[in-house]
Structure 1
Amino acid sequence: MVSTGTSSSGTAESTDPRALLARHPLDPAARAWLDQAVARVTERPAALRALFPAARRHCGRALLDARRTVDEAARAVLLTALPLGGQPLADELAGLYRHGDPAEQRAILRALPLLAAPDGGDAKREPLGDLALPLVREALRGNDSGIIEAALGPYGAARLPDAEYRQAVLKCVFQEIPLTGIDGLPARADAELARMLADFAHERVAAGRDVPADIWPVVRPFPAADRLSERLTAETRTAAPSAGRPPSGPSRRSTGTTAAPPPALRPPRPPLTEPYIHTASPPWPQPERLTGPPEGKACPCASSTPTST
C-alpha cells in the first residue's frame, strides 16, 4: 500500500473554507464577526477557545456544499489564523477537540490538511506534520459516522499506517459508511485490504445478510482476493454485481442479496373436537366433602401420644 502525500491542488481548492466562503458570501453581521474573530485569534491565540464554539451562533449552519456547513468553514478559517505551528498547534487542537461537540470535532478533523503543510497556511509557520494523528486515532475509536468519515479525510488517508488504515476502512464497511467518502482509497488499497473485504463478504453471506456493493471495486483489482470471492458460495456470487450492472436491492448499499427465510413456524394446535361448555354442574363427579369429627368426639389424631425419637 503506497501512502500518498497531500491532496492535489484541485481537491485542496474545493475543500479550502476560504474559497467556499468566497463563493457563498456571509451576511454583513456574520462577516464582521468573523473578521473580528480572526483578528483576535491572530493577536492572542487563546481567544480561539471562546470563539471556536460561538461560530455557529454568529455565522449559522447553512450548507456550503455536500459536506461542509458555514459554521464549519468559519471554524476552519479561525484555525488557519492561529499563529502557531508544530507541537504548540497540536496541543491547541487537542484541547479544542477534547472539549468540543461533534460538529466542532468534525471541523477540526477536516481542517487538518490546511494545517499539515506550509502550503495550507503561513509558509513561515512550522507545519503540523503527523502531530495530529492522535486526534485521528481517537476519532476512529468512536462510533459517530460523521466523525469517522472526517477522520479519513486527506490528512488521515495520507498519514495513517497501513494496518490502521485497513482497519479504519473495514470499520466504515461495518458501520455502513459509504467508501466513496474516504479520501485516497484507490491509491491506498492493497491485496491485504481486498482479502479482508472478501472475508467480510463471505461472513455476511453465511449469516444471511446483505453485502455492501461498494466493496467490490476495492476487491476486483487484486487477482488473489478476486479469486477468493469467486470461490464463495452461490449466494456470495449473486451478491457481487457483475461489471456494468448496477446493484439492486432495498438499501442504498445493498447488492440485492436477501437473507435466508426464517424457519417455518409450528402449525397451530387443532381445536378440540368436543369443546367443553361450562354448565352449572361440572360433568365429572365431585369428591366427598371433608368434615370434622362427630359432635362430642375428639379427633383421633389429637389423643395420640407422640413417639419418642
Structure 2
Amino acid sequence: MARPRGKKRTATEAVATDSSKPEAAAKEPAKRGRGKRVKAPSRPTDYFPGKRNLEDLWLSAFPVGTEWENIDKIKEFNWNFENLEKALEEGGELYGKTVYLFGSTEPRHLYVNGESKIVLIPVIVVVDCPFPPSDKIGINSVQRENEEILPMKAMKMTWVPYVPLEDRLSRIDSLETKIFTLGCTQRRSALKHLKTERVRKFDYCMPYYMPLQPIEDEDDTVIDFLYPLEPPIVDDFDWEMDDYEVFADQKVEDELLPEDEKEKFKEFLKEKVRERKRELKQAKEARKKAIDDTDPKKKEAFENIKFYKFYPVKTPDTPDVDSVKSKYINRYYRNTHYLI
C-alpha cells in the first residue's frame, strides 16, 4: 500500500512558515528585475536653473591691475555681459574661434540714482588669435622707477581654459569655440605674508603684448614722470618740444618746485629721457628679433590678430557706461579694433 503524500503547501503558507526561521531572510532569493532609475540631469545647467550658458565667463577673467582692496567693489553692481556671450555663441562674430580673454577695471565718474560717484567698471578684452598673444606681464606705472616685463608665472598668472556651463561634462578639445581666460592663483588670504613691494606689483600689472608691426607712437618723445617731493610733481615732458630750463622755471613759478631744487629737477628729467630713449631702442631691437624668430604660422596669426573690448550692457540694476567707453586698452595693446 502506497504511503499517502502530504498536502502540497501554497506559496503563502510556505512564506509564513519559513519566515519564522532566523535564517529565512538570508536565504530568501533576491527579487529579479531592476529598480526604476532616476534620470540624471542631462546638462550641468540643470543644476543652475536660470543661469545663462556663459554667464560666469567675465567673472572667470582676473581683473588684472586692480588693487586687491578694490576687487570686491566690482560686485557693487550686478553687471551683465550678454554682449560678450552673444559674440561667442552660435551666430556671433567670435563663434568657432580660439580666443583669449583678460579683464581689467576702469574707475569713472557716473551718475547713480541721481548722484555722481566713482564707479569701478569691469571691462573684458577678447583677443582673436589661434595662439596665446603673450606669456608675459608688464609692470608699469608713473609711481614706479622702471618698467618690468616678467613671465606670467612670476605673478602667478596663466591662460586657463574656460568651459561653458552646458559643456562641463565634455572634452575641451571637442568644443566649437575655444576660450581661455587670464587667471591668477595668488590667494588673497596669503597677501599679508608678502612684502609690500610684492603686493603692489599686482596693482601695476598689465597684460603684455608686443605687436610685430611698429605702433603709431613708437617714436613718441613724451615721458610721464613723478618727481619725489611732498606733494610729488606728476606731469609729462616732451624732449623735442619742451626746454629743460623753461620747464623747470615754470614749476618754480607755479610754486610746485623750490628754487634750490631746480638743477636737481632738470637732471632728473634728463635721466628719464635717456632711459626712455634706451627703452625705445631696445623695443625696436626686440621686435626685429621676434620677427626673425617667429614661426611662419604664428607670424601670420599675429599679423591678423584682432582685439575686442567689451563693456557691460545697460540694465535696470546697473549704471549706464556708454558715455565713458574708450577704445584704449593699455600701453602695450594700445587701442581695440572693436569697441562693444
Please state which band the TM-score falls in when normalised by the shorter chain. under 0.3
Larger radius of gyration: 1
Greater RCO (Cα-Cα under 8 Å, separation 6 or more): 2
TM-score, scaled to structure 2: 0.19
More strand per residue: 2
TM-score, scaled to structure 1: 0.20
